[in-house]
């Protein structure tokens, strides 16, 4: 899924549902996981494991609740 496709889906959410928690479905675990926040890779951010991100500068990603 691209961000363009995601944006199209998000724009179809009714106004009264915009304050709902964002969720991601994990089909392997058969559970919904909350999105805690989003983050954009900036200034050579480091992953918590101290290795370089595999994402390009400026890319946005979602952080999930563990």
Q: How many CB atoms lie within 10 A of CB 29?
A: 8
pLDDT tens, position by position, 49-65:
545 657 778 888 888 98
Does any domain span residue 32? yes
pTM: 0.70
31-40 and 60-64 beta bridge pairing: antiparallel
Does any domain span residue 13? no
Establish how many alpha carbons lie within 13 A of residue 12's alpha carbon, considering only the half-sphere containing its beta carbon: 6
Does any domain span residue 40? yes
User: pLDDT grade, residue 1 (50/70/90)?
Assistant: very high
36 touches 45 (CB < 8 A): no
54 touches 66 (CB < 8 A): no
Q: What is the per-residue pLDDT for 54?
A: 75
Does any domain span residue 4? no
pLDDT tens, position by position, 32-55:
999 999 988 887 666 555 456 577
Does any domain span residue 55? yes
Our count of domains for the chain comes to 1
Does any domain span residue 50? yes
Residue 32: domain span? 22-66
């Amino acid at each position: 899924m691209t961000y363009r496709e995601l944006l199209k889906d998000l724009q179809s959410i009714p106004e009264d549902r915009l304050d709902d928690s964002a969720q991601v479905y994990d089909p392997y675990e058969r559970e919904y996981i909350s999105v805690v926040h989003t983050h954009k890779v900036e200034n050579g951010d480091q992953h918590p494991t101290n290795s370089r991100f595999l994402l390009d500068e400026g890319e946005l990603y979602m952080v999930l609740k563990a």
